[in-house]
Chains A and B, each alone.
Chain A
Amino acid sequence: MTVQSAGLTSTTTGPSLRTLSLAEALFVPVAALIVSALLFSVFLLIIGKSPVDFFGLVWVGGFGSSFSIQQSLQRSAPLILAALAFAIPARIGLTMIGAEGALVLGGFAAAAMAIPLVTGGAPVPLAWLLMALAAMATGGLWIGLAGWLRHYRGVNETISSLLLSYIAIAIMNFFVEGALRDPASANKPSTMPIGDAYRIGSIPGTSVHWGFAAGVILAIVLAILMSRTTFGFAARMTGGNVRAAQAQGLPVGLLVVACCVIAGACAGLAGFFEVAVVHGQANASLVAGYGFTGILIAFLARHNPLAIIPIAILFGAIAAAGGLIQRRMGMPDATVLVLQGIIFVVLLASDTLYGRLKIFQPRAMGDRT
């Protein structure tokens, strides 16, 4: 998008600008991952554990067998959707950090929608469709509200979406503890279980659930929408310069709200899969921090929907390996959190390297003058 290689390559002797910027875009994150691994090794050595064992187990637990690969893909599903919920508004220039709330509220809406459907014995595919629509509509409304407040009322979207997140969690708790509580859920207040018949199974032949497929498909669709359509172009232009977009007569307010609704719908869909696949009901387990991890994944992917997929799978793999590390090395489950934290910090700090490494800069710039 920023590469104007045509004029330059003719005068340069080295690799083209496009190759250079691609090499840079691959080198920086890979170098950051290596630095994170080294830093975490130091941490392991300090506490007297073997880094070799640890990373061996991460590999085995994350990618070592077809079972563990499937586990990793499974775990990446909510992360892909939550990351999309951050990346799409980011393209239009908004820092929307409320995906957690949209996910929780979407999951709750799906579970609430399931109550009449399950008790009424609705056909399973119809129930899934209505639950997913309820989840996407609720999530879309939630982030759309933050987008609307931003554009039409001038309320900062970062803070308002954060506040809306807490309000969403409180709304879920309010209903789960009260009106919609299943009396059978003694220790952990929950909504009525949707029952095995209405649970979503795995993609045939695998143990990966459909949420992963939905995440990948949505990421591809949104990548096309943002890079190949008029809507995407208008949204990116608005993100680049609101005044210029307004001067061109673009419906900026509509674009902002539409991007936020899409984002909220992605997060809401993640909530739907959490309910329909993982938990089978809505309860406090929905508040699992996927929204915040998604923000960081979207940043690492530089808000590119396609790049989100591999990065989310990497973090899914680290999470999937957690249990194995816990058992084999006798380390607490929070080990994975420490590793993730180090990776996030180092990768974000590595953003500063873009455009500053000499080897990735075109050498023959002087020839042109």
Chain B
Amino acid sequence: MDNSLLIVLIAMLGGAIRVSTPFMFVALGECLTEKSGRINLGLEGNLVLGAMVAYAVSYHTGNAWLGVLAAGASGIVLGALHGYICKLPRVNDIAVGIAIMSFGTGLAFFFGKAYIQPSAPRLNSVPLGDWTGNASMAQALQINPLFFVGIALAILMSWAFANTRWGLIVRMTGDSAASAKAMGVSVDLVRLLATAAGGFLAGVGGSFLSLYYPGSWNEGLSSGQGLMAVALVIFARWDPIRCIWAALLFGAAGAIGPALQSVGITQGYYFFNAAPYILTLFIMIASARSKGAAREAPGELSITK
């Protein structure tokens, strides 16, 4: 019993580290966009297109890291498109987000047909667990470099929001467009840049899906991680560091099912898959009318009003 509990815990740890990276990048991207006062529901499209582009570029160039960059570039294009359309007057950002999601997914499926079969170079992982002398522990601690990039990025973002001029401008634009205008800041430009940068991060998150885990391109690659990011950012209350914890928690919850299956408990697999969503819903209900949550949300964000 102790042994199987240990197996489940290690598998959850490994699962959390493996599964959380795309959540992390999409959430950080969404966090940046929402901090500037705009919401982007289209990041699912960025994620799927990023996964396809990364795989294709990695296949043709033989360099997985070029694939990561190309995925980010495709994310910038979609993000900038969303940012540009949303700055037009009378346009609904929720609907445009869903349209961008369907456009990005369509493009990815269209150009991705050719890459379902071939095998492209993947990203290598860093074995951090060999010293433990435990095979499953070593397996769980095979960590992809993008995981560390994500954590570093979260720390950097958190620092930049609090301490840099740019961070202050983004936060001010998100909290009050009127004050930003009074300070001579172009609200539209800040939001456009924040949406494009958020798109870049979501594209990189997508590259992780096709180049590392599950590690190949197919049409069912993303199971809504991009859309989930919106909930995840609310869960993390617009704090980049808490985005990391939230992504790890979502990853671990998703790994419970397979982990239990590995020790012979097959019931409730799909129930555990739903755990992060149920958890987020309960946290939203609990925090909906709390003053703390209201204080942390960007003031201009339509979704929290």
- A residues sitting closer than 8 Å to B (CB atoms) are 95, 97, 149, 153-156, 158-160, 162-164, 166-167, 170-171, 173-174, 177-178, 289, 292-293, 295-296, 299, 332, 334-342, 344-345, 348-349, 351-352, 354-355
- The B interface is mostly helix, strand or loop, or mixed, namely helix
C-beta contact mask, B179-207 vs A, less than 8 Å → 1, else 0?
A: 00000000000000000000000000000
Which A residues are in CB contact (< 8 Å) with B94? Answer: 95, 97, 158
Which B residues are in CB contact (< 8 Å) with A354? Answer: 90
Whether the pair A97, B288 counts as a contact (CB closer than 8 A) is no
Whether the pair B274, A335 counts as a contact (CB closer than 8 A) is no
Q: Give the contacting residue for B99; candidates A166, A341, A352; CB below 8 A.
A: A341
Q: Could you tell me the distance in whole angstroms from the C-beta of B254 to the nearest C-beta in chain A?
A: 11
Q: Is B103 in contact with chain A by the CB < 8 A criterion? A: yes
Q: Is B138 in contact with chain A by the CB < 8 A criterion? A: no
Which A residues are in CB contact (< 8 Å) with B269? Answer: 174, 177
Interface residues of B in 96-111 (CB under 8 A from A): 96, 98-107, 109-110
Q: Could you tell me the distance in whole angstroms from the C-beta of B86 to the nearest C-beta in chain A?
A: 9
Chain A residue, CB-CB nearest to B227: A162
Q: Cα distance A348–B95 when bound, in Å?
A: 7
Which B residues are in CB contact (< 8 Å) with A344? Answer: 98-99, 102-103
Q: Is B176 in contact with chain A by the CB < 8 A criterion? A: no
Whether the pair B96, A160 counts as a contact (CB closer than 8 A) is no
Q: Could you tell me the distance in whole angstroms from the C-beta of A350 to the nearest C-beta in chain B?
A: 9
Whether the pair B85, A345 counts as a contact (CB closer than 8 A) is yes
Q: Cα distance A159–B227 when bound, in Å?
A: 10
Whether the pair B281, A167 counts as a contact (CB closer than 8 A) is yes
Q: Which 10 residue pairs of A and B lie closest in terms of their CB atoms, listed nearest first?
A: A341-B103, A337-B106, A170-B274, A334-B109, A344-B99, A352-B88, A173-B270, A174-B270, A334-B110, A338-B106
Q: Give the contacting residue for B277; candidates A163, A336, A339; CB below 8 A.
A: A163
Which A residues are in CB contact (< 8 Å) with B101? Answer: 292
Whether the pair B90, A162 counts as a contact (CB closer than 8 A) is no
Q: Do A345 and B100 contact each other (CB < 8 Å), given the known contacts A162-B230, A299-B95?
A: yes
Which A residues are in CB contact (< 8 Å) with B284? Answer: 155-156, 159-160, 163
CB<8 Å pairs between A and B, sample of 8: A156-B303, A167-B277, A170-B277, A292-B101, A296-B95, A335-B110, A345-B103, A352-B90
Whether the pair A170, B106 counts as a contact (CB closer than 8 A) is no
Q: Cα distance A167–B231 when bound, in Å?
A: 13
Whether the pair A153, B289 counts as a contact (CB closer than 8 A) is yes
Whether the pair A338, B285 counts as a contact (CB closer than 8 A) is no
Q: Cα distance A341–B48 when bound, in Å?
A: 14
Q: Could you tell me the distance in whole angstroms from the C-beta of A87 to the nearest C-beta in chain B?
A: 12
Chain A residue, CB-CB nearest to B104: A341
Whether the pair A296, B110 counts as a contact (CB closer than 8 A) is no
Chain A residue, CB-CB nearest to B42: A345
Q: How many residues of B are in contact with the other chain, CB < 8 A? A: 48
Interface residues of B in 243-301 (CB under 8 A from A): 267-271, 273-274, 277-278, 280-281, 284-285, 288-289
Q: Could you tell me the distance in whole angstroms from the C-beta of B301 to the nearest C-beta in chain A?
A: 10
Told that A163-B281, A167-B274, A337-B109 touch, could you supply 6 new A-B pairs with CB distance under 8 A? A97-B41, A156-B288, A159-B231, A162-B227, A344-B98, A351-B90
Q: Give the contacting residue for B231; candidates A163, A335, A336, A338; CB below 8 A.
A: A163
Q: Could you tell me the distance in whole angstroms from the C-beta of B34 to the nearest C-beta in chain A?
A: 12
Q: Is B126 in contact with chain A by the CB < 8 A criterion? A: no
Q: Could you tell me the distance in whole angstroms from the C-beta of A35 to the nearest C-beta in chain B?
A: 13
Which B residues are in CB contact (< 8 Å) with A351? Answer: 88, 90-92
Q: Could you tell me the distance in whole angstroms from the C-beta of A192 to the nearest C-beta in chain B?
A: 19
Q: Cα distance A69–B196 when bound, in Å?
A: 41
Q: Is B145 in contact with chain A by the CB < 8 A criterion? A: no
Which B residues are in CB contact (< 8 Å) with A336? Answer: 106
Q: Cα distance A344–B107 when bound, in Å?
A: 14
Which A residues are in CB contact (< 8 Å) with B107? Answer: 338, 341
Q: Do A345 and B106 contact each other (CB < 8 Å), given the known contacts A160-B281, A163-B280?
A: no
Q: Give the contacting residue for B288; candidates A153, A289, A335; CB below 8 A.
A: A153
Q: Cα distance A355–B88 when bound, in Å?
A: 13
Q: Is B113 in contact with chain A by the CB < 8 A criterion? A: yes
Chain A residue, CB-CB nearest to B110: A334
Q: Cα distance A328–B177 when bound, in Å?
A: 52
Chain A residue, CB-CB nearest to B228: A166
Whether the pair A349, B88 counts as a contact (CB closer than 8 A) is yes
Q: Cα distance A156–B297 when bound, in Å?
A: 13
Whether the pair B285, A171 counts as a contact (CB closer than 8 A) is no
Interface residues of B in 67-117 (CB under 8 A from A): 81, 85, 88-92, 94-96, 98-107, 109-110, 112-113
Which B residues are in CB contact (< 8 Å) with A342? Answer: 103
Chain B residue, CB-CB nearest to A176: B270
Whether the pair A334, B91 counts as a contact (CB closer than 8 A) is no
Whether the pair B281, A338 counts as a contact (CB closer than 8 A) is no
Chain B residue, CB-CB nearest to A299: B95
Which B residues are in CB contact (< 8 Å) with A341? Answer: 99-100, 102-107
Q: Is B224 in contact with chain A by the CB < 8 A criterion? A: yes
Whether the pair A154, B96 counts as a contact (CB closer than 8 A) is no
Which B residues are in CB contact (< 8 Å) with A162? Answer: 227, 230-231
Q: Is B125 in contact with chain A by the CB < 8 A criterion? A: no
Chain B residue, CB-CB nearest to A349: B85
Q: Cα distance A268–B230 when bound, in Å?
A: 25
Q: Cα distance A18–B28 when bound, in Å?
A: 47
Q: Do A293 and B88 contact each other (CB < 8 Å), given the known contacts A159-B234, A166-B228, A166-B277?
A: no
Whether the pair B285, A348 counts as a contact (CB closer than 8 A) is no
Q: Cα distance A296–B99 when bound, in Å?
A: 7
Which A residues are in CB contact (< 8 Å) with B227? Answer: 162
* Residue among A162, A171, A332 with max Cβ neighbours from chain B (10 Å): A162
